[in-house]
Structure 1
Amino acid sequence: MTSRRRFLMQAAAFGGVALAVRPGVSPARAAAQSGSAVDYAAMYRERRNWGRWGANDQVGAVNLITAEKRRAAAALVQTGRTVSLSRTFEPPQHFMTKSSLGPGGGYVMDYLGFIYHGVTITHIDALCHIWDDDGMWQGRDPDVEVTTQGAHFGDITHWKEGIITKGVLIDVPRHRGEPHVSIEKPVTGEELEAIAQAENVTVEPGDALLVHSGWGAVALLDNALLEPIAEACAEENRWSFLFQALPLNVAGGTGSPVNPIAMF
Structure 2
Amino acid sequence: MTEKRWIRRPEGANWGDFGPDDQVGRMNLLTPERRLRAIREVTHGQTFTLSLPLDYPGGNSLFEYRKEPRFFHERRGPGHNYNFRLSNVCGCFSDIVSDDAVLLYTQYSTQWDALSHVGQLFDADSDGMVEKVYYNGYRGGIDIVGPDDAPKARGAQALGIENLATSGVQGRGVLVDLEARHGRNRAVVSYDELMTILDEQHASVEPGDFLCLYTGFADLILKMGKRPDREVLLSSCAVLDGRDERLLNWITDSGIVAICADNFAVEAYPAKEGSGETYPGLPLHNHCLFKLGIHLGELWYFAELAQWLRSNERWSFLLTAPPLRLPGAVGSPATPIATV
What TM-score does the superposition give when structure 2 sets the normalisation length?
Answer: 0.60
The alignment partner of 2:109 has SS state of coil
Q: Which residue of 1 aligns with 2:170?
A: 164
Give, in whole Å, the separation in 2 of the partners of 1:207 and 1:261.
Answer: 15
Q: Which residue of 2 aligns with 1:50?
A: 15
Match of 2:325 among 233, 249, 255: 249
The alignment partner of 2:175 has SS state of strand
**Which runs of no fewer than 5 residues in structure 1 stay unpaired?**
1-43
Match of 2:205 among 203, 206, 209: 203
Q: Deviations over 1:40-82 (max 9, x none)?
A: xxxx933222122122111101011111000000000000111
Q: Deviations over 1:134-186 (max 9, x none)?
A: 21111221110122122111111212233111100000121x2x42241xx42
Give, in whole Å, the separation in 2 of the partners of 1:127 and 1:87.
Answer: 23
Give, in whole Å, the separation in 1 of the partners of 2:11 and 2:106.
Answer: 31
Q: Which amino acid counterpart does residue 160 of structure 1 have in structure 2?
A: A
Give, in whole Å, the separation in 1 of the partners of 2:121 and 2:155.
Answer: 21
Q: Which amino acid counterpart does residue 200 of structure 2 have in structure 1?
A: A
Give, in whole Å, the separation in 2 of the partners of 1:196 and 1:95.
Answer: 46
Q: CA deviation at 1:104?
A: 3.5
Match of 1:130 among 115, 118, 134: 118
Deviation larger for 156-165 or 91-100? 91-100
Give, in whole Å, the separation in 1 of the partners of 2:312 and 2:31.
Answer: 27
Q: Which residue of 2 aligns with 1:179?
A: 183
What value does the CA root-mean-square deviation take over the aligned residues? 1.8
Matches within 5 A, 1:98-247: 98=82, 99-102=84-87, 103-117=93-107, 120-134=108-122, 135-147=133-145, 148-161=153-166, 162-174=168-180, 176=181, 178-182=182-186, 185-215=187-217, 216-217=262-263, 218-219=265-266, 220-247=296-323
Give, in whole Å, the separation in 1 of the partners of 2:179 and 2:95.
Answer: 52
Give, in whole Å, the separation in 1 of the partners of 2:190 and 2:185.
Answer: 11
Q: Deviation above 6 Å: which 4+ runs of structure 1?
A: none
Q: Which residue of 1 aligns with 2:257?
A: none
Deviation larger for 194-203 or 47-56? 47-56
Q: Is the Cα contact below 8 Å between 1:181 and 1:213 reproduced in 2?
A: no
Q: Is the Cα contact below 8 Å between 1:181 and 1:214 reproduced in 2?
A: no
Q: Which amino acid counterpart does residue 187 of structure 1 have in structure 2?
A: V
Q: Which has the higher helix share?
A: 1
Q: Deviations over 1:11-63 (max 9, x none)?
A: xxxxxxxxxxxxxxxxxxxxxxxxxxxxxxxxx93322212212211110101
Deviation larger for 60-69 or 196-205? 196-205
The alignment partner of 2:99 has SS state of strand
Q: Is the Cα contact below 8 Å between 1:126 and 1:254 reproduced in 2?
A: yes
Percent identical pairs in the alignment equals 31
Give, in whole Å, the separation in 1 of the partners of 2:311 and 2:11.
Answer: 41
Give, in whole Å, the separation in 1 of the partners of 2:163 and 2:106.
Answer: 18
Alignment of 1:93 with 2:70, yes or no, is yes
Match of 2:36 among 63, 68, 71: 71
What TM-score does the superposition give when structure 1 sets the normalisation length?
Answer: 0.76
Largest Rg, 1 or 2: 2
Deviation larger for 254-263 or 92-101? 92-101
Q: Which residue of 1 aligns with 2:334?
A: 258
Q: Is the Cα contact below 8 Å between 1:181 and 1:187 reproduced in 2?
A: no
The alignment partner of 2:28 has SS state of helix
Give, in whole Å, the separation in 2 of the partners of 1:95 and 1:228.
Answer: 33
Give, in whole Å, the separation in 1 of the partners of 2:199 and 2:188.
Answer: 19
Q: Which amino acid counterpart does residue 173 of structure 1 have in structure 2?
A: E
Give, in whole Å, the separation in 2 of the partners of 1:228 and 1:116.
Answer: 25
